């Protein structure tokens, strides 16, 4: 019965294209919309979402093609918007739609490619494989799309679509669940993602994507303070190296290595090479451009940094993280009015995204309005932004002259450190606001000894501006390799 249903769907989806004369010009930009699941079990949605996300990753490796990232594409799940409206919002020439049905150890994907200018189906096809060969299916699907849109692809790039090892079905299933929870970016979600990636590796130790996913999880956990940064980054580095031993073309693993190299090991030249390698391998990987932008800003390469973050937003225009990061970069570039404009637009997209309020607070304080900064920071839950949000609030209280409240925040940070990681750097931020330079430098020296990842922001962090004229500041810059 399942085979009959699948055959019927394939006939319907591969039917005659809609009216309109398709253009013969190559297509250089597209979005893969979230695939629909045809399973009656709603718990299978993660599988369909994962299949569309992996197709995005495959297509994003083509340098001459701009592919919208998953974060933006997922917002059109079950949308009622027209093809033209989605295309306008994402600024793309084509959309890929698809349906997935998994039955036992078989998976079938039916997909179609729509040229948005003419609302015409350019291509529709059905692919079916044993789950052991799902990676081959994804490569064949990507290759069919690339052939249809007539975009330039080198022989080496085309070879990526055909070189896959068979994967254990349970490992693949665990990998997709790991990515599902990784995308939540919450502490419980990240812990679940680690569990699923580790399960995938146990089932198939040679599954490079599972190692790369594990590296991604530890990288995010260290960056967001869910684990002590040194512990998290060392685990991330091990997992990334394991992934690259199996497949050295994985952009995500190169990005993790880049982060570890400069944030933990303070090896800036090696990190730069990893970032460049990652972007060359996957030019449409928005996160690569976003993280490279942060790296460049910390080095003082401001215009290059802004170019990279604008590129990231073009690839992932609806991402809250990237839109708020653009505001963050503009704050550090001292373009405060531009930053405020961008961050207010991001709050219109989602008023409760904590980091947007933090970056907006930095802009207001830099413009000489700490009271507005305090207001923004009080909109943020400590669960969302961790000790950095609390430290920023303490610094703003100090600058505004609310000494008692600033000292109360220091007590909160001390209390928090009993059950969670709190970087000495964050406490130093509050003391810098209070004008206690000796205590601030004492804590920053501790941060240097602990190799806190936050220390690499020394050069651009506005909340430490008051320390720049002190001779001791140069010693800290030398500590992290920012001054020789």
Q: What is the DSSP letter of 27?
A: P
Chain Cα centroid distance, residue 20? 37
Radius of gyration of the CA atoms of the chain, in A: 24
- Which of helix, strand or coil describes residue 8? helix
Place of tokens 């918007």: 81
Q: What is the predicted pLDDT for the residue at 161? A: 67
Please say whether the beta carbons of 211 and 253 come within 8 A: yes
| Average pLDDT along the chain | 90
HSE-up of residue 387 (Cα within 13 Å, Cβ side): 29
Q: What is the predicted pLDDT for the residue at 427? A: 96
Please say whether the beta carbons of 264 and 230 come within 8 A: yes
According to DSSP, the β-strands at 106-115 and 66-67 are unpaired
Q: Return the bridge partners of 98, or none.
A: 111
pLDDT tops 50 at residue 256: yes
Among residues 406, 398, 391, the alpha carbon closest in space to that of 433 is found at: 398
Give the residue-averaged pLDDT of 382-389: 82
Q: Which of 33-42, 289-298, 365-374, 437-446 has the lowest mean pLDDT?
A: 33-42
Place of tokens 């799309």: 145
Q: Return the bridge partners of 110, or none.
A: 99, 126
Domain with CATH 1.25.40.10 in the chain: 169-277
Q: What is the pLDDT of residues 162-215, one digit of tens each?
A: 666 788 889 989 999 999 898 887 888 899 999 999 999 999 999 999 999 999
pLDDT tops 60 at residue 113: yes
Q: What is the CATH number of domain 169-277?
A: 1.25.40.10
According to DSSP, the β-strands at 66-67 and 94-103 are unpaired
Domain 2-166 has CATH 3.40.50.720: no
Strand (E) or helix (H) holding 259? helix 251-263
Model confidence at 255, in pLDDT bands (50, 70, 90)? Answer: very high
Q: What is the pLDDT of residues 282-294, one digit of tens each?
A: 999 999 999 999 9
Q: How far apart are CA 417 and CA 411, in angstroms?
A: 10
- Which of helix, strand or coil describes residue 215? helix
Q: How far apart are CA 56 and CA 206, in angstroms?
A: 22
Q: What is the DSSP letter of 154?
A: -
Q: How far apart are CA 391 and CA 100, in angstroms?
A: 46
Give the residue-averaged pLDDT of 74-82: 91
Residues present in the chain in total:
484
Query: How is residue 148 written in tokens?
Result: 């249809």
Q: What is the predicted pLDDT for the residue at 134? A: 85
According to DSSP, the β-strands at 106-115 and 120-130 are antiparallel
Among residues 185, 249, 262, 264, the alpha carbon closest in space to that of 217 is found at: 185
Q: Among residues of the chain, what percentage have pLDDT more than 70?
A: 93
- For residue 18, what are the contacts with CB-CB under 8 A and spacing of at least 6? 119, 120, 121
Domain with CATH 3.40.50.10610 in the chain: 2-166
């Amino acid at each position: 019965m399942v085979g009959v249903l699948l055959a019927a769907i394939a006939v319907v989806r591969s039917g005659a294209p809609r009216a309109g004369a398709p253009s013969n010009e190559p297509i250089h930009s597209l979005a893969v919309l979230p695939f629909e699941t045809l399973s009656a079990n709603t718990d299978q949605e993660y599988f369909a979402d994962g299949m569309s996300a992996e197709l995005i990753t495959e297509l994003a490796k083509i340098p001459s093609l701009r592919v919208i990232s998953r974060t933006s594409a997922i917002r059109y799940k079950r949308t009622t918007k027209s093809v033209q409206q989605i295309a306008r919002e994402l600024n793309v020439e084509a959309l890929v739609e698809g349906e997935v049905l998994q039955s036992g150890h078989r998976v079938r994907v039916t997909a179609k490619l729509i040229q948005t200018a003419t609302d015409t189906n350019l291509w529709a096809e059905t692919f079916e494989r044993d789950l052991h060969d799902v990676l081959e299916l994804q490569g064949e699907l990507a290759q069919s799309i690339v052939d249809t849109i007539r975009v330039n692809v080198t022989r080496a790039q085309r070879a990526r679509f055909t070189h896959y090892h068979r994967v254990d079905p349970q490992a693949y299933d665990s990998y997709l669940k790991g990515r599902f929870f990784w995308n939540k970016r919450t502490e419980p979600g990240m812990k679940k993602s680690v569990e699923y990636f580790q399960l995938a590796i146990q089932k198939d130790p040679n599954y490079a994507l599972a190692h790369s996913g594990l590296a991604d999880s530890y990288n995010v956990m260290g960056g967001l303070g869910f684990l002590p940064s040194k512990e998290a980054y060392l685990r991330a580095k091990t997992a990334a190296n394991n992934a690259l031993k199996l497949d050295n073309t994985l952009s995500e693993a190169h990005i993790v290595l880049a982060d570890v190299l400069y944030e933990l090991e303070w090896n800036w030249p090696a990190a730069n090479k990893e970032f460049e390698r990652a972007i060359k391998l996957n030019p449409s990987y928005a996160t690569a451009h976003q993280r490279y932008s942060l790296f460049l800003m910390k080095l003082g390469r401001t215009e290059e940094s802004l170019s990279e973050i604008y590129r990231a937003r073009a690839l992932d225009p609806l991402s809250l993280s990237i839109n708020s990061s653009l505001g963050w970069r503009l704050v550090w570039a001292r373009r405060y009015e531009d930053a405020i404009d961008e961050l207010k637009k991001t709050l219109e997209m989602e008023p409760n995204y904590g980091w947007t309020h933090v970056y907006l607070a930095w802009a207001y304080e830099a413009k000489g309005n700490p009271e507005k900064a305090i207001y923004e920071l009080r909109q943020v839950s400590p669960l969302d932004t961790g000790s950095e949000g609390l430290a920023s609030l303490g610094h703003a209280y100090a600058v505004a002259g609310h000494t008692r409240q600033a000292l109360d925040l220091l007590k909160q940070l001390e209390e928090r450190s009993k059950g969670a990681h709190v970087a000495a750097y964050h406490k130093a931020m509050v003391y810098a606001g209070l004008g206690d330079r000796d205590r601030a430098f004492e804590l920053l020296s501790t941060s240097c000894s602990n190799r806190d990842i936050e220390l690499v922001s020394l050069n651009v962090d506005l909340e430490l501006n008051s320390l720049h004229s002190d001779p001791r500041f140069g010693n800290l810059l030398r500590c992290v390799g920012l001054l020789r």
